[in-house]
Chains A and B, each alone.
Chain A
Amino acid sequence: MTESTDLVVRLSVENLQVNLAGKDVDVVSEVSFSVAAGEVLGLVGESGSGKTTVAHAILGYARRGLEIAGGAVRLDGRDLLGLPPAELRRVRGASVAYVPQDPGSALNPVLRVGTQLREILTAHPGTVANVGDRVREVLAEVSLEATADMLRRYPHQLSGGQQQRVALATAFALRPSLLVLDEPTTGLDVTTQRHVLETVRDLCATYGVAGVYVSHDLAVVRELAQSVGVMYAGRVVEFGATDVIFNAPAHPYTARLLRAIPSVERSHVLEGIPGQPPRPGQRPAGCSFAARCPLVVDLCRQGPPPVVSVGQGVHLSRCVKAAEAILPPVQQALAGAARRADNADSGGLVVRDLRASYGDTEVLHGLDFQVAGQSCLAIVGESGSGKTTLARCLVGMHPKWRGEIAFGGQRIPQGVRARPPEARRALQYVFQNPYTSLNPRKTVEQLVEQPLGYFFNLSRNESHERVVKVLEDVALSTAFLRRYPDQLSGGERQRVAIARALVVEPDLLICDEVTSALDVSVQAVVIELLRDLQVRRKLMLVFITHNLSLVRAIGDQVVVMSEGRVVETGPTDDVLDRPRHEYTVRLVEDIPKIGAASGV
């Protein structure tokens, strides 16, 4: 695939292949793309798609257990993969730079910011005339003031956003011609993320750097990148200009992925992608996506799909039906049915003057809100807003709070131990991370059955029936009963966790960031499921999230939190379309947008 623009091609990757070391099993194969000087390519895909492996391979590096088996990575015409080790070392740092996901771990914690930056410059002598000048210059470029105070700080004295800026500064210090970024804004709040993205874009444009931005977040890529490569099961399934990919995707996977993304701008039902991508070594002879594709035809399974050029410009799709890959329309009817299920107040959730503290530090400063029962309340806030503390107060994990919490007309005591069993049953909690919330030594059946044993006195058969029924509710068959958590995918684990909460028939279900550890296609499935269960089981659902985009898909009501206070509350559409508080306004503005026309 070659870029047919006037711009100089800086980086071109040709037929890159990465195998499991010593085995003939490809992890990534037939990856080809090119990036022009000053442009950013977004490499998107879900976990396991091979995007990080590609990013590492561009640096000539393969993680232990993997080996680069073929292909070329040309930087300004020179193949990096063919260079001898010593030469490759010289190239890295000087003309190739890397920014990892977690800035906290990229910076040496015992070196001051100034020392850190100077070290890179002096490690490649002769590249910079005046080290001090360059340090000040590069810090200014990432919008940090190069004051003596800043240079003397240690990484832990910086905020997450500042750390990522310093990491960017070290990457740009030697004026590289290629910059590889591996999800550098994950974990930053939206406002900081926006600033970091702008900095990356400006610097790449200014210095003619080719950028490769690896991300699972399509909205971020849409804001930043000029072209996009969509990866699935180790291959680039679609490649093209950003606008084209987002407005007229030609591969069914891209189209479905776009539908799974929640968005603040429009109200819609999320549509997940059932199933899982095949793992290396188990990929079918035909199209890897065939098993999950709604448009699958026999031809798909017979052999690898050809790379087809679609439309004008560079737009390639690895699909036999690329020219006519049009999905059936989104099921709009469901949206109406699911959303308007709120009925008269039958004992909602009331929080009055809730104050909570850790030690002497008060983190919740008098929260007040009231939500009707049997509806879905979304609580949104950035990290540090106190939303998780609020959840911990509600479930009784954080017993040191004052004020009043009432549900269904009953006041709830502070700690778990002070609550009567009935209150503990009525209020269930689903944890953020399904990888830690299930005991690895228990089977799915044991996990789901466990709370039944504590809250009810049921016979073996009765409890088994209940377990089977609740697993059915979360769309898991009886085949899962005997499996252990490590045999399940992330989405399946989270469904087991939800089943464990639902099996005791709670009235209030609190979900704390339950989708943040999941891929978007899986997230959509879980959100749909929760929405559906809330209506069918007449639950009240409290959904806590940092992701404002999810609120539209799930919340009837929304509470926006900031710095331990409720800044805005009201019906979801009102708050998102006409935010009144300046904080909400800023939050809505700073969120990366997918764009209006992804209805396909």
Chain B
Amino acid sequence: MSVTADKATTPPGGPARVDRRQWTRLLATASSRARGRLGLALTAVVVLIAALGPRFAPYSATQFVTTPFSRPSAHHLLGGDDLGRDVLSRLLAGGWVLLVMAVAATAIGLVLGTLAGVCAAYLRGRWDGIIMRTVDVILAFPTIVFALLLVSVVGPKLWLIVLAVGISHAPQVARVMRAATLEISERDFVKAVELWGIRSWTVMRSEVLPNLSSPLMVELGLRLTYSIVIISGLSFLGFSQPPPAPNWGLMINENRLGLVANPWSVVAPALLIALLTIGTNTFTDAVGRLAIGVGRGSEETAVVAGLAGAVMMGELQQFPLDEGVIEDPEGADNQEPAVD
């Protein structure tokens, strides 16, 4: 037969990229945008303060070194707190536990939620019903009340708070992952594998999961932001480390009486929590915008349809265009390696 072997040239897109994992590419692209860079910078500043702070703390976080609510001075840059401890030292020492708890809660929420969502969507039928109704029940509990309930029964254990917050995240994650999995499991490549009679678990792990990285990244950022807010809120209420320990949420509560005397004792921890949530949220937003722009096929159809309508009505100039630059002309999206 006259089938001609293709020449072994490099594809037009240039040499194969080394790293093909979608999530790293997504993060790299997001970090290169202004929005992503801002978010990353804010987050990094707060994380660095929390991580390296204890080493640079001028005083011990628990010793009484100055007068309560003393104003900032050369020796105590942010003044003293309600018991005369150094605010700066407590600030530098008080973020790490909060961060670790938020990350752990997020991880628990993501793992549980993804497991539930993917299973519900892929296995369908009975499993879908059981999992999603359970999710609905959990969703009916307000997070804070749920956590308070657990803590008041078992006692203020850190792992318990992490677990409570993690579990309360799972339903939202499950819903998003279920929707994404429903779409992916309809694709032909999943069916192709099913036709070999492969176990469902393997199909979910090797075919579905790798294609969920975009929604996962977005959920990760979103849940991390919520975790920070909820856990600092719980700390403020006293459900976290017991009092002598420094903690940003707790500091706000302890020092609120001296807000007028030494505003920094309240404003500084509040500011750090705010910067952290704004940072993670801004970065997530950058990732989310990219992730939504990933599916470019539907955009094409919409443009053509809109064009037809616009030409008919003679309104082409007002014709709205989607974001995202189409680099390849003439449906070459399908023909050639997508460069992105």
| A279–B195 touching, CB < 8 Å | no
| B330–A49 touching, CB < 8 Å | yes
| A100–B316 touching, CB < 8 Å | no
Given contacts A89-B316, A106-B309, contact A439 B189 (CB under 8 A): yes
| B312–A64 touching, CB < 8 Å | no
Interface size class of B (residues with CB under 8 A): 35 or more
CA–CA, A387 and B2, complex, Å: 30
B211 contacts chain A at the CB level, 8 A cutoff: yes
CA–CA, A93 and B314, complex, Å: 5
| B187–A436 touching, CB < 8 Å | yes
| B312–A93 touching, CB < 8 Å | yes
| A419–B3 touching, CB < 8 Å | no
Given contacts A47-B335, A424-B196, A431-B192, contact A475 B5 (CB under 8 A): yes
Residues of A within 8 A of B336 (CB): 48, 279, 489
A97 contacts chain B at the CB level, 8 A cutoff: yes
A247 contacts chain B at the CB level, 8 A cutoff: no
> Closest CB-CB distance, B47 to chain A, in whole Å?
30
| B12–A63 touching, CB < 8 Å | no
Given contacts A47-B332, A66-B329, A431-B192, contact A98 B2 (CB under 8 A): no
| B1–A477 touching, CB < 8 Å | no
A61 contacts chain B at the CB level, 8 A cutoff: yes
Main SS at interface, chain B: loop
Choice from B6, B192, B305 contacting A102 with Cβ under 8 Å: B305
Choice from B1, B11, B192, B305 contacting A529 with Cβ under 8 Å: B1
Residues of B within 8 A of A171 (CB): 312
CA–CA, A528 and B331, complex, Å: 26
Closest B residue, CB atoms, query A482: B16
| A486–B314 touching, CB < 8 Å | no
| A106–B308 touching, CB < 8 Å | yes
Residues of A within 8 A of B22 (CB): 441
A96 contacts chain B at the CB level, 8 A cutoff: yes
B295-316 CB mask vs A (1 if < 8 Å, else 0) is 0000001111101111111111
CA–CA, A455 and B196, complex, Å: 8
Choice from B5, B197, B211, B311 contacting A98 with Cβ under 8 Å: B311
A552 contacts chain B at the CB level, 8 A cutoff: no
> Closest CB-CB distance, A28 to chain B, in whole Å?
8
| A120–B197 touching, CB < 8 Å | no
Residues of A within 8 A of B314 (CB): 89-94, 123-124
Residues of A within 8 A of B20 (CB): 441, 484
| B311–A63 touching, CB < 8 Å | no
B232-268 CB mask vs A (1 if < 8 Å, else 0) is 0000000000000000000000000000000000000
Given contacts A279-B12, A416-B194, A490-B335, contact A274 B4 (CB under 8 A): yes
> Closest CB-CB distance, A327 to chain B, in whole Å?
13
| B2–A331 touching, CB < 8 Å | yes
CA–CA, A476 and B309, complex, Å: 44
Interface-facing stretch out of B53-61, B64-72, B132-140, B319-327: B319-327
CA–CA, A52 and B326, complex, Å: 14
Residues of B within 8 A of A106 (CB): 305, 308-309
| A52–B331 touching, CB < 8 Å | yes
Residues of B within 8 A of A525 (CB): 3
Residues of B within 8 A of A276 (CB): 335
Closest A residue, CB atoms, query B202: A454
> Closest CB-CB distance, A92 to chain B, in whole Å?
5
A182 contacts chain B at the CB level, 8 A cutoff: yes
Residues of B within 8 A of A458 (CB): none
| A93–B211 touching, CB < 8 Å | no
Closest A residue, CB atoms, query B22: A441
Choice from B5, B11, B197 contacting A483 with Cβ under 8 Å: B11
CA–CA, A425 and B196, complex, Å: 7
Chain A positions 413-437 with a Cβ under 8 Å from a chain B Cβ: 416-417, 419, 421, 424-425, 428-429, 431-433, 435-437
Residues of A within 8 A of B191 (CB): 397, 431
A170 contacts chain B at the CB level, 8 A cutoff: yes
B1-41 CB mask vs A (1 if < 8 Å, else 0) is 11111111101110010001010000000000000000000
| A475–B313 touching, CB < 8 Å | no
Residues of B within 8 A of A282 (CB): 12
| A439–B207 touching, CB < 8 Å | yes
> Closest CB-CB distance, A3 to chain B, in whole Å?
25
CA–CA, A416 and B337, complex, Å: 34
Closest B residue, CB atoms, query A501: B192
| B329–A280 touching, CB < 8 Å | yes
| A85–B317 touching, CB < 8 Å | yes
B338 contacts chain A at the CB level, 8 A cutoff: yes
Residues of A within 8 A of B313 (CB): 93, 119-120, 123
Chain A positions 41-92 with a Cβ under 8 Å from a chain B Cβ: 47-53, 56, 59-61, 63-66, 85, 88-92
A99-127 CB mask vs B (1 if < 8 Å, else 0) is 11110011010000000000110011000
A431-465 CB mask vs B (1 if < 8 Å, else 0) is 11101111111000000001100110000000000
Choice from B8, B195, B211, B337 contacting A439 with Cβ under 8 Å: B211
| B188–A433 touching, CB < 8 Å | yes
CA–CA, A334 and B1, complex, Å: 7
Chain B positions 45-91 with a Cβ under 8 Å from a chain A Cβ: none
| A271–B11 touching, CB < 8 Å | no
CA–CA, A424 and B312, complex, Å: 52
CA–CA, A492 and B336, complex, Å: 11
B131 contacts chain A at the CB level, 8 A cutoff: no
Residues of B within 8 A of A96 (CB): 311
Residues of A within 8 A of B317 (CB): 85, 88-89
> Closest CB-CB distance, A421 to chain B, in whole Å?
6
Closest A residue, CB atoms, query B207: A439
Could you list some 13 contacts between A and B, CB below 8 A?
A49-B330, A50-B330, A59-B311, A59-B316, A61-B307, A88-B316, A89-B314, A120-B313, A274-B6, A275-B6, A280-B328, A395-B195, A424-B197
Given contacts A96-B311, A171-B312, A479-B8, 11 further A-B contacts (CB under 8 A): A20-B329, A53-B329, A53-B330, A65-B326, A93-B314, A440-B211, A441-B20, A450-B193, A475-B5, A477-B8, A487-B337
Interface positions of B (Cβ within 8 A of A):
1-9, 11-13, 16, 20, 22, 187-189, 191-198, 207, 210-211, 301-305, 307-317, 321-322, 325-332, 334-338
